[in-house]
Structure 1
Amino acid sequence: MSRLLIVHHTASPATQEMLEKVRQGATTDEIEGVEVVTRAALNATASDVFAADAVILGTPANIGYMSGALKHFFDTIYYPCLEETRRLPYGLYVHGNNDATGALRAVEAIAGGLGWERAAAPVVVVGAVTKTDLEACWELGATVAATISP
């Protein structure tokens, strides 16, 4: 069975809604053979990444950057995972109240430095989360899960 790891920092109702839709998409009945494991960014470890066949990252945009919790995740896993997880498929969702550009750029730069490969376009929401945004989150979860479905 393949494993999809969702690493998130969920600090607001908006990021909670987005996480739930990503998880719903990843666990849809149409996708078989994928175990979905969800970890808060402060609790996720290199071992979690080593056990994963793909990763979805979720973060709010805080002061123009990813959350400190997601940055901490990257700080703790970067060197242990640098050579071992190249080509790992990943997805990303970001929520910002005013702007999410810096957070998007930072996460993509670090994932690129790790050699991870984007499996789906990132979902970036600025302001209130709409029905369309939640549908995009569902699609993100389903797409990344389908990428690793046996």
Structure 2
Amino acid sequence: MTPRKTLLIVYHSMTDGTRQMAQAACDGASADPDSPVQVRLLHAAQAGASEVLGADGYVFATPENLAAISGQLKDFFDRSYYAVLDHVNGRPYASLVCAGSDGRGAARQIERIATGWRLKPVAEPLIVCTHAQTPQAILAPKRISDDALLRCRTLGEAFAQGLALGVF
């Protein structure tokens, strides 16, 4: 029997867009009931070093705030970083970014942190642009398009399959 693997999805969301994206990735990763992959979806405030150490792969999901990851996701990384350094080398990761206009700043910040942890990217950052540009639109609850959610779901499904097959 194949040992069970764990995919950890850590997210933060203020206006629900990133949560929808993370949930879609979780749904995709959990789609096969016979998969040897257990999926854990945790809000960044609930995740820490023990969850990182207990996982075989990671999806980090964040809104882009001022061209960076959210403060709550940054707090997760700050609380976990040194405790897991050199204990997760080579493990796979992917990132999801819910952005108003660009998203590349947040994606680069996750990439830099993942590089420090010596994680291996398994996909390009999946950035969903909401085009929210006014204070009202930025603060308003988001509705992520079905197409974008399908891309998130597909990423989660492929990631779980890759873990199950030992591809990463």
Q: Would you call these one fold, judging by a TM-score over 0.5?
A: yes
Task: Give structure 2 stretches of 5+ with no counterpart.
Answer: 132-143
Aligned to 1:149: 164
Q: Does structure 1 retain, via aligned residues, the 8 Å contact 2:23–2:41?
A: no
1:140 aligns with 2:143: no
1:127 aligns with 2:130: yes
Distance 1:139 1:30 in 2: 16
Aligned to 1:53: 56
**In the superposition, relative to structure 1, how do residues 37 and 105 fare at CA in structure 2: closer, same or farther (>3 Å)?**
same
SS across alignment from 1:90: strand
SS across alignment from 1:55: strand
Structure 1 position 13, deviation (Å): 2.7
1:8-45 deviations in Å (ceiling 9; x for gaps): 00222322221221111110127611111111112211
Structure with greater strand share of residues: 1
1:110 aligns with 2:113: yes
Aligned to 1:22: 25
1:74-115 deviations in Å (ceiling 9; x for gaps): 111111111000011111100011221210110111101110
After the TM superposition, list the runs of 4 or more consecutive aligned residues in structure 1 that deviate by more than 4 angstroms.
Answer: none
Letter in 2 for 1:144: F
Distance 1:9 1:140 in 2: 18
SS across alignment from 1:107: helix
Aligned to 1:75: 78
Letter in 1 for 2:160: A
Task: Give structure 1 stretches of 5+ with no counterpart.
Answer: none
Q: Which has the larger radius of gyration?
A: 2
Letter in 1 for 2:72: A
Distance 1:9 1:95 in 2: 10
Distance 2:163 2:56 in 1: 7
Distance 1:47 1:145 in 2: 20
Q: Does structure 1 retain, via aligned residues, the 8 Å contact 2:11–2:19?
A: no
Distance 2:155 2:34 in 1: 13
Distance 1:118 1:92 in 2: 9
